[in-house]
Structure 1
Amino acid sequence: MTVVGQVNKATANTTTGSTGSSGNTGNTSDPTSQAGGKTASDKAMLNYDSFLRLLIAQLKNQDPTAPSDPAQQLAQLASFSQVEQTIQSNQKLDSLLTQSSLQIAQSYIGKYVQTTGDNPVSGTVASVKVYSDGLIATLDNGKQVLVGPGVTISDGPPKTSNPS
């Protein structure tokens, strides 16, 4: 599970970052830079550049009596360009989804949360962590709740009716 953001009641600030199991925090657009790895975009660009170098080397060293098919080379180049565009689109979509999750998480701060089931939990939300697979609200009593099905969120605790 990867933390992609956290919202706290005390600061009312929204922070973004990517925290893996090692606890390192980095930029969400480049989650592996802290570990010295390459992002998908860097890997795609490396492959794209490598393809261009190979294409030039192939053109320089081709047999003049049996030249390679330029239409096939252009089709391969177009295919690599399409993959690169898809990777960039996915990165932008991930960024939008993260921002949307953080806005939703921020709206939960100060709300009353109540769960049902075997171990019901209730309290006011003090902070929310946005993970790659959902939101976890930390209540003012220190308990944590996975925000999902079966969780009721309201402005305050339910009013008890006193029979007269």
Structure 2
Amino acid sequence: MKTGFRFAFSMVIAVGLSTVASGAAQLPSYWRKSMTNDPATNYFVAQSMKPLASADAQALRVVKLASIAGEQCKGSAVNRKALQAYKIQVGYSKIKGKAYDDAAFLADDSFKYFDYGALAHLCAGTDYLFGPDGHLAPGLVKPGKGLPKASYDPRNPYVRVSPLMKKPL
């Protein structure tokens, strides 16, 4: 009797743990409706399209968004040649000193509450922002599957985004 009870109890625990593990990997269903390439329904894409107060901060934010999308979205990759061309076009290398510090502060501030939901919406909107006909910076990121690489953990939804590095003088 004890052996049967232990077996049944261990099976209940195993099934429960597998249900929790598989549920953690799935996105909440209410996110699916807004995970589109349309800024009218994807709030994160709409926020990313809004220009920042300075052109330098905007350039830094675009580079950071492209890096995050290329590194953390399934199947996505940063187009290094297009990124280099974008940096030349916006004068990235000319942003120095206090101007860089101020621009980095503004760009980093837009990632203050970056969580898994924002990452999932960024991944879904990568084609709109950075695809071949991208509205923010065309061709910077090869669009992927529209989902994050990491699985969703509702107990720890925040995604650590490192701040922009201080540029040497």
Shared fold by TM > 0.5? no
Please identify which structure carries the higher strand content: 1
**RCO higher in 1 or 2 (8 Å CA, sep ≥ 6)?**
2
Q: State the TM-score, normalizing by the size of structure 1.
A: 0.30
Q: Which has the higher helix share?
A: 2
